[in-house]
A and B are shown apart, each in its own frame.
Chain A
Amino acid sequence: MSAAEQELGWSSDEMMAVASARALAEATTCFVGIGLPSTAANLARRTTNPGLVLIYESGTIGAKPQVLPLSIGDGELADTADAVVPVPEIFNYWLQAGRCDVGFLGAAQVDRFGNINTTLIGRDGRPDLRLPGAGGAPEIAAHAGKVLITVRHSTRVFVEQLGFVTSVGFGQGDGDRERLGLRGAGPTQVLTDLGVLEPDPDSRELTLTACHPGVTVEQVREATGWPLKVADDVATTPAPTADELGALRELQERTRKAHRAGS
């Protein structure tokens, strides 16, 4: 933790996870990506939404892991699931059919309309930087009732122009999702370690609507690779409660121990 974080008593990553878990308070089902989204969704089950149904693309529906999985196919996801279905079924019958309220995604790059790149990044005079690729994200972004994105805020991530659109948010703006036939509502919140961005209701451009405690609008602007739109009234995210921090730290400590012991 930085000195500022020590003074606050929690880190910006912890604030991001807590804000993300709060965003899942109303959800019934969440199609979960590995990494930050999985941390948030499992924290939600311990804080804001104990009944939340976690769906991982390995086909585990209703997984209730005691520790954060390292991969979407960890044995504990299957052992604790309500049902384990084959991969074609999870994508066709459950995701495509509209049975997932929330899709929770990470990203390598995000643009001002919440489009995501996880495929490759062009570099001047050098071969493109190769990233892992799409995985389940294009169809999660298309079909989930709504999409949450969680990612650390920096100008490397929040870029003016994507060289490759892996998963579509709002395309080039209002009306594009409808034109493309994307049935879900698209990204309704982007939760970072600095604050929260939400699409403008008219233009769909991501707009800063909340800063985390101790973060200024100027800091978020500096960490964004385009002239960031800022809401008239920027809220301050309520700080993590002792319960939220306790649940998150306990989950992460148990995860560290389990993955060390299991290796």
Chain B
Amino acid sequence: MAELTSLREAVAGLVHDGDTVALEGFTHLIPTLAGHEIIRQERRDLTLVRMTPDLVYDQMIGMGVARKLVFSWGGNPGVGSLHRFRDAVENGWPVPLEVDEHSHAGMANRYVAGASRLPFAVLRGYQGSSLAARSDTIGTVICPFTGEQLAAVAAMNPDVTVIHAQRADRSGNVQLWGILGVQKEAVLAAARVLVTVEEVVDELDPRPGAVVLPSWVVTAVAHVPGGAHPSYAAGYTTRDNAFYSAWDPISRDRETFTAWMTEHVLDPARVS
């Protein structure tokens, strides 16, 4: 059963140096403030996993928590590059960053295999792409029924998956709706699960299109209103498009970035 706890305690208990950690969210419901807590607790050598690493991964990479990034699209949506990610890959700052790079279809299926507790997933993909030769988690398999050769991708089973959701009840059942991305698969693939939520309620009344993750597949729930900013939680907050644009000049320069992170993330007054 999920434990309702503070974000600080949840990260302290669940995320360890060297872990494979997925903070998932496909543009919507990105667990930004959980990422900030991981930065404040100075985790190191993480393998960060996410289909669409954006600002919070740029911040985590720039603050030196990651050794490796597993991903399929790494940019600032609608704005441009992730400058801290590029600096880490191109120049090894602040620490070198290894990458394992996929397509979205490949990453999504890696989580599906992980959630299903299968060793790999099958898809038609990567044919002729340079991606396949550069990753040891992309292979091929022969269909035993038709003889067709298909792409195989290794299961993704994070040590910890972190997601942000709209609501949880006091027993730790979690409800999310809107663009759901790959969060359900990422949760069910993980050994430990932390969910930050906009609201804790007595009872989860039904919502159209909502997914409920039962308390017994979640390790910890933390009440973190606004925890997705500058992403959003449908029904609670809206996407802060201006912040995505503002991040570009902040993140271009190492010193400007470090100063911004010190003021807005490391500042002890802001610790939850």
A residues adjacent to B (C-beta < 8 A): 34-35, 57-60, 69-75, 77-78, 84, 86-88, 91-92, 95-96, 119, 127-139, 142-143, 164-168, 171, 176, 180-183, 259, 262-263
Contact = CB atoms under 8 A, between A and B. Distances in A.
Nearest to A182: B127
Given A86-B181, A87-B182, A127-B91, A136 B129 contact: no
Nearest to B232: A75
B53 to A, nearest CB: 9
Which of A35, A74, A127, A164 has the largest count of B CB atoms less than 10 A from its CB? Answer: A74
A59 B26 CA distance: 10
Given A135-B73, A168-B128, 20 more contacts: A35-B78, A58-B27, A70-B79, A71-B27, A71-B239, A73-B179, A73-B181, A75-B232, A84-B179, A87-B26, A87-B108, A88-B108, A92-B123, A96-B124, A128-B90, A133-B74, A134-B73, A138-B129, A142-B127, A168-B127
A57 B104 contact: yes
9 contacts: A132-B74, A132-B81, A133-B71, A134-B104, A137-B103, A138-B105, A142-B124, A168-B129, A182-B127
Contact of B72 (A74, A92, A133): A133
Contact of B129 (A75, A91, A166): A166
B103 A136 contact: yes
A69 B28 CA distance: 13
Contacts of B104: 57, 87, 91, 134-136, 139
Interface stretch (B41-49, B193-201, B240-248, B257-265): B240-248
A167 to B, nearest CB: 7
Contacts of B71: 133
Interface in B120-141: 123-131
Contacts of B124: 96, 139, 142-143, 181, 183
A59 B179 contact: yes
**Top 8 A-B residue pairs of the complex, sorted by shortest distance between their CB atoms:** A73-B27, A263-B242, A132-B75, A71-B77, A70-B78, A135-B73, A168-B128, A91-B105
Given A70-B77, A86-B182, A91 B108 contact: yes
Say what secondary structure dominates the interface of chain A: loop
A35 B73 CA distance: 15
B112 A133 contact: no
Contacts of A168: 127-129
A86 B72 contact: no
B85 interface: yes
Of B73, B103, B239, the most chain A CB neighbours within 10 A belong to: B103
Given A75-B239, A87-B104, A127-B91, A58 B26 contact: yes
B128 A182 contact: yes
B234 A75 contact: yes
A135 B72 contact: yes
A180 B234 contact: no
B108 A130 contact: no
Contacts of B103: 134-139
B111 interface: yes
B125 A86 contact: no
Nearest to B54: A71
Contacts of B148: 181
Contacts of B245: 263
Interface string B15-38: 000000000001110000000000
A119 B135 CA distance: 14
A91 B72 CA distance: 13
Contacts of B179: 58-60, 73, 77-78, 84
A16 B257 CA distance: 37
Contacts of B238: 75, 262
Nearest to A181: B127
Nearest to A73: B27
B105 A139 contact: yes
Contacts of A34: 77-78
B211 to A, nearest CB: 8
Interface in B62-89: 71-75, 77-79, 81-82, 85-86, 89
Contacts of A75: 28, 178, 232, 234, 238-239
B59 interface: no
Contacts of A92: 105, 108-109, 123
